[in-house]
Amino acid sequence: MTAPETPVSPADADRTFQVDLRGLVDLLSHHLYSSPRVYLRELMQNAVDALTARHGLEPAGPAEALGIRLYADGSTVRVEDDGVGLTEADVHTFLATIGRSSKRAEGIAEQRDDFIGQFGIGLLSCFLVADTIHVLSRSARTPDAPTVEWRGRDDGSYTVRTLPASARPRPGTTVTLTPRADATEWTRPAQVHALARHFGSLLRHPVTFDDGAGGPSVSVNPQTAPWTRTYPTPGARSRALAAYGEEVFGFTPLDTIELDLPAVGLKGIACVLPEPVPAGRPHGHRVHVKGMLLSEQAQEILPDWAFFVRCVVDAESLRPTASRESLYEDDMLAAVRDALAERLRAWIARAAASDPELLGRFLQAHHLAVKSLAVHDDEILRMLLPWLPFETTDGHTTLDEFARTHRTVLVTSSVEEFRQIAAIASAAGLGVVNGGYTYDRELVHRLPEIRPEAVVDDLDPATLTAHLDPVDRETELAATAYLTVARDALAVFDCDVALRSFQPASAPALLLDSREARHERTRSQLAREQQGGVWGDILGALRQEAPRAQLILNQLNPLVRTAVAIDEPELARTSAEALYGQAAMLSRRPLRPAESSLINRSFLDLLAHALRKDS
Ligand SMILES: Nc1ncnc2c1ncn2[C@@H]1O[C@H](COP(=O)(O)OP(=O)(O)OP(=O)(O)O)[C@@H](O)[C@H]1O
């Protein structure tokens, strides 16, 4: 056996990690970036950072003359900048070392916030569309710096060459990609132009695009952000901001709120949605950092309750994550969220205090969501509760208006109860709010917190009965026989029968029943049926004194007057059942099977009776 030619390393020798670049690119493309299109954003962002670094180097230099030029002719994509450029040493240190970035090198920590990049991986995204990255760069740090050419391949190999300064007459960097055949979707000239506009429309440096067809280059960002421009009048300003919101989001904002947080260099607009937002639909905001579009679906810049706006903001100091598609959840982001939320609250407060027409349109679109918000947010409650619409015995009206006409605001606990009693309560002069919809009862009960003079009370069937006029003794006595028959007929429904006078006279009967009472009766009935068994004992122990249902007959109604005078017991019974059935149907609650068959039976009996009489 011959000895091996290479000496074996000692077991504890230091070794260096090897990186499988293709594996790494695969990881980035599947887990970090949402689409291969981000390669252009990363290139533009490196160009922006290079221009920023050059400005740091030459603060008095002609910043507006320095820019970014994009070129795509179908066979290559090129991004050229007049930035700080790279020396040969920079190329080895930063381009050829994954994870190393000049933007967080020692000594520039205080400038860190000036740059968008920091992780030292962005350039790798070019491998999502090309096998080779070609960089030609000339440093602005020394006047006669040579041009450096770097060619990096997706197998992890690279070459570096030094060329004469004349190979690139001015400082800056040019990155050229030769797209793979499977990536043309992202590198076609029209697509590159569209992506450049998408990501770079708010960049502060001049950016141009050339499609290689011989025509002039076109500007990618011809106008600065609309909130940075000056306008002849405030009206012209708000119209321009609304038009921008419409262009970006595709809806005409109900109103446009300007956002300005100087502490983090954030400016932008919040567009109030003109339509209700379907529950559960994520509503994203467009966040730019230093002009570069970071995310179209950022949800983290506003609290969940701000469902009614979509924002476009451009911030200096928010920190993007490595994917660049979301933001770091840090103290700065929390402070921004609080400050923007405050801004939206101020808008609501202003509308509530001085723009009732705008507030009305806002609540018309968003009252349901605002109600859910007001339950947990005292400030929103204080500002908006009086203006929220509710269903009442005066129709749909605001709580404020309703409380002004009714000293005591009564509220039902279910829609069904409201349906049962609305007409009668209103005729009796009572003001009742339908508290049956989610949040409504809870919100109405909080009215005295804002309007201390308002009195709010629950309205249950018993309260209403107290408001109905009793009939005189004589009438009561005359009706005793009928009432006895009726009580007997309706005993199966645990229903009492009484005679009162109430408006409207056209209503023959009112069925007063509460859901709790009905549940209680069902429980009692089950307990009776299961007597002796375990369930019977448990249900029996739970039993409470349940208020019975009440069928209140209206003495003012001509039909009832005739009915109470019937001396034929069978017909009296059938008429009582029919009155119960009609009142149950009016309450619009689901009928129990026994009630449906009672309605059927009484109808047929009455029909038979009528036919017999006629024959
Ligand atoms: N156009 C350019 N001009 C000058 N230097 C550049 C340019 N593009 C890349 N570089 C250098 O290459 C380094 C690596 O770039 P890369 O895009 O991979 O990472 P980064 O921008 O530093 O950080 P991030 O991963 O957050 O984007 C940069 O830090 C910078 O030093």
Q: How far is the CA of 435 from the centre of ligand 1 (A)?
A: 61
Which phi and psi angles does 369 have, rounded to 5°? Answer: -70, -35
The answer to whether the CB of 426 is under 6 A from ligand 1 is no
**Which stretch, 342-356, 409-423, 544-558, has highest mean pLDDT?**
342-356
Q: Are residues 493 and 451 in the same domain?
A: no
The confidence score (pLDDT) of residue 18 equals 79
Decide: 221 and 206 in contact? Cβ < 8 Å: yes
Domain boundary among 448, 465, 482: 465
The answer to whether the CB of 122 is under 6 A from ligand 1 is yes
Instruction: Give residue-wise pLDDT tens across range 220-248.
Output: 999 999 999 999 999 999 999 999 999 99
Q: Three-class SS of residue 56? A: helix
The answer to whether the CB of 118 is under 6 A from ligand 1 is yes
Please indicate, yes or no, if residue 130 is contained in any of the structural domains: yes
Instruction: Give residue-wise pLDDT tens across range 452-485.
Output: 999 999 987 777 777 788 999 999 999 999 999 9
Q: How far is the CA of 80 from the centre of ligand 1 (A)?
A: 14
ipTM exceeding cut-off 0.95 for this assembly: yes
Q: Are residues 421 and 478 in the same domain?
A: no
- Higher pLDDT: 555 or 116? It is 555
Tell me the best of 82, 113, 123, 324 to mutate to test the pocket of ligand 1, counting ligand atoms within 8 Å of each CB and taking the most: 123
Asked whether the predicted pLDDT for residue 45 surpasses 50, the reply is yes
Asked whether the predicted pLDDT for residue 22 surpasses 90, the reply is no
With a pLDDT cut of 70, the percent of the chain lying above it is 90
| 352-360 long-range Cβ contacts below 8 angstroms, 24+ apart | 352/383, 352/384, 352/387, 358/254, 358/255, 359/387, 360/387
Please indicate, yes or no, if residue 434 is contained in any of the structural domains: yes
Please indicate, yes or no, if residue 274 is contained in any of the structural domains: yes
- Atom 30 of ligand 1: nearest residue by CA position: 102
Asked whether the predicted pLDDT for residue 1 surpasses 50, the reply is no
Length of the chain: 615
The answer to whether the CB of 119 is under 6 A from ligand 1 is yes
The answer to whether the CB of 52 is under 6 A from ligand 1 is no
Q: How far is the CA of 31 from the centre of ligand 1 (A)?
A: 20
Q: How far is the CA of 556 from the centre of ligand 1 (A)?
A: 89
- Of the candidates 7, 17, 77, the one whose C-alpha atom is nearest the C-alpha of residue 42 is 77
The answer to whether the CB of 289 is under 6 A from ligand 1 is no
Q: What is the CATH number of the domain that holds 400?
A: 3.40.50.11260
The Cα–Cα gap between 50 and 56 comes to: 10
Instruction: Give the structural domain span for 158.
Output: 21-219
Q: How far is the CA of 440 from the centre of ligand 1 (A)?
A: 56
How many domains in the chain? 4
The confidence score (pLDDT) of residue 560 equals 96
Asked whether the predicted pLDDT for residue 545 surpasses 90, the reply is no
Q: Are residues 491 and 461 in the same domain?
A: no
Least confident of 163-167, 233-237, 531-535, 576-580: 531-535
Q: Are residues 436 and 474 in the same domain?
A: no
DSSP string, 385-440: GGG-EEEETTEEEEHHHHHHH-SEEEE-SSHHHHHHHHHHHHHTT-EEE---STTH
Confidence of residue 34 (pLDDT cuts 50, 70, 90): confident
Q: Are residues 410 and 544 in the same domain?
A: no
- Higher pLDDT: 153 or 466? It is 153
Instruction: Give residue-wise pLDDT tens across range 97-140.
Output: 887 888 775 554 445 578 888 888 899 999 999 999 999 999 99
Q: What letter represents residue 502's amino acid?
A: F
Q: How far is the CA of 486 from the centre of ligand 1 (A)?
A: 90
Please indicate, yes or no, if residue 233 is contained in any of the structural domains: no
Asked whether the predicted pLDDT for residue 44 surpasses 90, the reply is yes
- Atom 31 of ligand 1: nearest residue by CA position: 102
The answer to whether the CB of 47 is under 6 A from ligand 1 is yes
The confidence score (pLDDT) of residue 108 equals 47
Asked whether the predicted pLDDT for residue 513 surpasses 50, the reply is yes
Domain boundary among 411, 437, 465: 465
Read off the DSSP letter of residue 484.
Answer: H
Q: Are residues 255 and 392 in the same domain?
A: no
Q: How far is the CA of 135 from the centre of ligand 1 (A)?
A: 12
Domain boundary among 411, 433, 465: 465
Asked whether the predicted pLDDT for residue 600 surpasses 80, the reply is yes
Decide: 311 and 270 in contact? Cβ < 8 Å: yes
The answer to whether the CB of 53 is under 6 A from ligand 1 is no
Tell me the best of 39, 45, 49, 138 to mutate to test the pocket of ligand 1, counting ligand atoms within 8 Å of each CB and taking the most: 49
Q: Are residues 480 and 451 in the same domain?
A: no
For ligand 1, what atom is nearest to the CA of residue 95? 12
Q: Are residues 347 and 250 in the same domain?
A: yes
Q: Are residues 473 and 449 in the same domain?
A: no
Q: How far is the CA of 226 from the centre of ligand 1 (A)?
A: 29
Q: Are residues 43 and 128 in the same domain?
A: yes
Q: What is the CATH number of the domain that holds 259?
A: 3.30.230.80
Count the Cβ atoms, other than its own, within 10 Å of residue 417.
26
Please indicate, yes or no, if residue 376 is contained in any of the structural domains: no
Q: Are residues 139 and 155 in the same domain?
A: yes
Please indicate, yes or no, if residue 2 is contained in any of the structural domains: no
Q: How far is the CA of 520 from the centre of ligand 1 (A)?
A: 72
Please indicate, yes or no, if residue 297 is contained in any of the structural domains: yes
Q: Are residues 82 and 197 in the same domain?
A: yes
- Atom 8 of ligand 1: nearest residue by CA position: 46
The answer to whether the CB of 101 is under 6 A from ligand 1 is yes
DSSP string, 331-390: HHHHHHHHHHHHHHHHHHHHHHHH-HHHHHHHHHHHHHHHHHHHHH-HHHHHHHGGG-EE
Average pLDDT, integer, range 193-197: 98
- Of the candidates 51, 140, 156, the one whose C-alpha atom is nearest the C-alpha of residue 148 is 140
Q: How far is the CA of 156 from the centre of ligand 1 (A)?
A: 17
Q: What is the CATH number of the domain that holds 541?
A: 1.20.120.790
Q: What is the CATH number of the domain that holds 72?
A: 3.30.565.10
The answer to whether the CB of 320 is under 6 A from ligand 1 is no
The confidence score (pLDDT) of residue 307 equals 85
The confidence score (pLDDT) of residue 527 equals 64
The answer to whether the CB of 43 is under 6 A from ligand 1 is no
Decide: 511 and 549 in contact? Cβ < 8 Å: yes
Asked whether the predicted pLDDT for residue 5 surpasses 70, the reply is no
Average pLDDT, integer, range 19-27: 82
- Atom 9 of ligand 1: nearest residue by CA position: 46
Decide: 407 and 455 in contact? Cβ < 8 Å: yes
The answer to whether the CB of 68 is under 6 A from ligand 1 is no
Q: How far is the CA of 43 from the centre of ligand 1 (A)?
A: 8
Q: How far is the CA of 122 from the centre of ligand 1 (A)?
A: 7
The answer to whether the CB of 42 is under 6 A from ligand 1 is yes
Please indicate, yes or no, if residue 230 is contained in any of the structural domains: no
Confidence of residue 535 (pLDDT cuts 50, 70, 90): low
Sign (positive or negative) of CA dihedral 242, 245, 247, 253: negative
∠ CA(514), CA(515), CA(521), 5° rounding? 95
